[in-house]
Amino acid sequence: MIEVQGLGKRFGAVEAVRDLNFTVGDGEIFGLLGPNGAGKTTTVRMLAGLVVPSSGAAAINGARLGPDSQRIRGMTGILTESPGLHEKLTARQNLAYYGRLYGLSGATLRRAVDRYLGLVGLEAVGDRRVAGFSKGMRQKVAIARALLHEPQVIYLDEPTSGLDPSAAKTVRDFVSTLRNAGRSIVICTHNLDEAERLSDRIAVMRGGFLEVDTPAGLRREGRTAIVRVELAATDGEARRLLDALAGLPFVSAAKALPDGLQVEVGDPRRDNPELVAALVSRGARIVAVREQAATLEEAYLRLVGEAGERDALDISSAA
């Protein structure tokens, strides 16, 4: 469980992150989206106990950021933006080194290294130096490194970067498995499709949070959802059914289309069954019901603008 209250970070005159408030529950995946320089990496570094916040507070499974940072680093796993492996060492030696730094030793360490090399599909090349590895293989070693000590809280920065589609799917499935095992997971990504597939909630940030919602909620842009009902017979049928919708409290607007109906509802998951039931009871022959929402990309661009990188944020020169 991650609990964050008013968290902020300033590097000299530059305010990299401001006033973050959120929680990530056990078994939840929380996505961080935002342009380059939006503060995603700084946020993760603060939560991982690597960077000291300038304001606010956070607790990881009850351990407070600051006084308990060393304990926090022991209970979190982090996949950094760049794999950052030790080139001259083999994959096994890389993992064994980090296992020791996370307090594993002896048979426990060997079992953990073997298990995670197997899970990322690198057991056959575990004794080769990573200098000869492809980008995807390095990413897999880095993922194994982040999970080796079975952390309860996991931060993943671009987890499928450099992976081919099948390897990316393997990683996504694995992340879902970790969620099902009750881990709290924060994912930073520019891959909107990945964020939508994996995240239970997404925060779009640019210094501070611009909006936090479920992927479906972000797509709806905070408004009612538009549902299209495709009908088998449309000749006059749609106009007749409009009357049936008038009495439904969750329908805020409706109009007839050449091939069916367009209906605005509050929450499609909650309201669609009743909508369908009401239409069917009036004799409607429904072919399909589809939510007509904006894509996450449209919602994202609406929130952050199309300018791209955050202006004038050069942390290294400000530090």
Binding site residues, other proteins, CB under 8 A? 11, 45, 48-52, 70-71, 73-74, 76, 78, 80, 82-89, 93, 97-98, 100-103, 105, 129, 142, 145, 315-316, 319
Measure the N-to-C terminal CA separation of the chain; round to a whole number of Å: 30
Beta strand pairing status for 251-257 and 208-213?
A: unpaired
Minimum CB distance to other proteins, residue 306 (Å): 24
Q: Within 13 Å, how many C-alpha atoms sit on residue 7's CB side?
A: 27
Residue pair 233/216 in contact by the 8 Å Cβ criterion: no
Minimum CB distance to other proteins, residue 80 (Å): 5
Q: Considering the complex, state which of residue 141 and residue 231 has its C-beta at the smaller distance from other proteins.
A: 141
Q: Considering the complex, state which of residue 11 and residue 209 has its C-beta at the smaller distance from other proteins.
A: 11
Minimum CB distance to other proteins, residue 94 (Å): 9
3-state secondary structure of 231: strand
Residue pair 157/79 in contact by the 8 Å Cβ criterion: yes
Q: Considering the complex, state which of residue 74 and residue 217 has its C-beta at the smaller distance from other proteins.
A: 74
Q: Look at residues 178, 144, 189 and name the one whose alpha carbon lies nearest to residue 27.
A: 178
Q: Look at residues 34, 51, 46 and name the one whose alpha carbon lies nearest to residue 5.
A: 46
Q: Considering the complex, state which of residue 52 and residue 253 has its C-beta at the smaller distance from other proteins.
A: 52
Q: Quote the CA–CA distance of 189 and 194 in Å, as a whole number.
A: 8
Q: Look at residues 139, 158, 226 and name the one whose alpha carbon lies nearest to residue 198.
A: 158
Minimum CB distance to other proteins, residue 70 (Å): 5
Minimum CB distance to other proteins, residue 146 (Å): 8
Minimum CB distance to other proteins, residue 97 (Å): 5
Q: Considering the complex, state which of residue 144 and residue 198 has its C-beta at the smaller distance from other proteins.
A: 144
Q: Considering the complex, state which of residue 80 and residue 272 has its C-beta at the smaller distance from other proteins.
A: 80
Minimum CB distance to other proteins, residue 120 (Å): 16
Q: Considering the complex, state which of residue 180 and residue 316 has its C-beta at the smaller distance from other proteins.
A: 316
Burial class (CB in 10 A: 0-12, 13-18, 19+), 278: middle
The alpha carbons of the chain give a radius of gyration, in whole angstroms, of 24
E-only strand ranges, 158-296: 184-188, 201-206, 208-213, 225-231, 251-257, 260-265, 286-291
CA torsion through residues 131, 133, 134, 139, sign: negative
Minimum CB distance to other proteins, residue 266 (Å): 43
DSSP class of 129: B
Q: Considering the complex, state which of residue 131 and residue 288 has its C-beta at the smaller distance from other proteins.
A: 131
